Amino acid sequence: MSIVSSLSPRAVAAPESGIVELVNYARGREGLLPLWVGEGDLATPDFISRAAMDALAAGETFYTWQHGIPELRQALSDYYTRHFGTRLPVEHFYVTGSGMQAIQIAVQALTSPGDELIYLSPSWPNIAAALEIAGARSLSVELQFEGGKWAVDLGRIEAAITPKTKGIFINTPSNPTGWTATKQDLIDILALARRHDLWILADEIYARYYFAGGRAPSFLDVMDEDDKIIFVNSFSKNWSMTGWRVGWIVAPPEMGQVLENLIQYSTSGVAQFMQKGAVAALDQGDDFVAANIAKAARSRDILCDALVATNRVETLKPDGAIYAFLKIDGVADSRKAALDIVDKTGVGLAPGTAFGRGGELFLRACFLRDPAQVAIAAERLCDYILKL
């Protein structure tokens, strides 16, 4: 008997990331333009790093509050007042070791083995994996794709509901498609959840990356106080903190002890000096986030305009998030194409096969980068596409 065969079947069944496979294949190549993962090209700004370093130097290295230091929970409350127009007391906020851990904890809180959670596909693959590892079942409902645009079909969601369904995972603006729910979409999804007594697990990490201006519609705009909604989020994208692994949950205060216990028995909380950096991000980072969004908008236009001009790419400029999801004429195997593209052009793209049903024919490019670099990547990609 092999060592692996004696491990937990759920652990063994955890899939390899199709994105990481490409990254590992070509990481460190000279001249590489890495558009494959969801992060920008800027290091964390100094005002955030300095706050963390000052706290570290001051000896803030001891055990701390499992649910987050009071200063960070208050900063999160203030942030939501500024950007979401809602006053949520600090008891709604719980600090986690990344947005991924926020999802894991939410999944653990909502589901038991055998329960089901619906999500919209193509989707960031980690939600389905988190559910399956927890012993729950992930059920994908495909977004509709027509004329380069993505849309949700409420009828498909309702048809997927069974007696074992505990909730619906909604990521808007969406990774990887850029689909962004309208306020009416959210009203309709919430009405559906109420009708079937389901939870909504809302991933609004890209809410600020909304290219119509302001922020994207949020469930906070349409919900009542007693609605069963958990929000998960992260410091990664807005403040260039992907490597910090700090996130948060917004949830009803009645869940507080449950969430704190789940944090305790996983990571036992986030280091206090890192949380001080997160406080600085929230309190001082609005201008930095605005600059990141403006850069993403410029780079989105450069990349999408160039690709569409080839007449070989089906896509439109996404309404939100930081990704172009591309369907190239003649590409039937996106994994094979991604490997070929990085070999021949030095541009790293994520294969659509990594994002589940509906994504197989697509490639994802992250455009949260210097517009000059994105222009070079676009030129290389267009040259490759026109030679197919």
Tens of pLDDT, residue by residue over 241-273, are 999 999 999 999 999 999 999 999 999 999 999
Model confidence at 74: pLDDT above 80: yes
Model confidence at 54: pLDDT above 80: yes
Model confidence at 15: pLDDT above 90: no
Model confidence at 279: pLDDT above 80: yes
Distance, CA of 341 to chain centre: 24
Mean pLDDT to the nearest integer, 161-169: 98
pLDDT bin (cut points 50, 70, 90) of residue 316 is confident
Give the Cα-Cα-Cα angle 246, 219, 217 (nearest 5 degrees): 90
pLDDT bin (cut points 50, 70, 90) of residue 1 is low
Between residues 315 and 171, which one has the greater pLDDT? 171
pLDDT bin (cut points 50, 70, 90) of residue 69 is very high
Q: What is the pLDDT of residue 346?
A: 97
Instruction: Compute the residue count for the chain.
Output: 388
Mean pLDDT to the nearest integer, 213-237: 97
Residue holding tokens 């009542």?
Answer: 224
pLDDT bin (cut points 50, 70, 90) of residue 68 is very high
Mean pLDDT to the nearest integer, 319-335: 95
Mean pLDDT to the nearest integer, 159-188: 98
Kindly state the percentage of the chain with pLDDT values over 70. 100
CA distances (Å), origin 299, targets 104, 175, 259, 328: 32, 17, 39, 19
Instruction: Give me the sign of the Cα torsion angle 314, 317, 320, 322.
Output: positive
Model confidence at 147: pLDDT above 90: no
Q: Assign 149 to helix, strand or coil.
A: strand
Model confidence at 14: pLDDT above 90: no
Peptide bond into 173 cis (omega under 30): yes
pLDDT, averaged across the chain:
96
Instruction: Give the span between the Cα atoms of 177 and 320, in whole angstroms.
Output: 9
Model confidence at 111: pLDDT above 70: yes
At 182, phi and psi to the nearest 5? -80, 165
Q: What is the pLDDT of residue 6?
A: 87
Model confidence at 11: pLDDT above 90: no
Model confidence at 59: pLDDT above 90: yes
Q: What is the pLDDT of residue 8?
A: 85
Residue holding tokens 């949830």?
Answer: 251
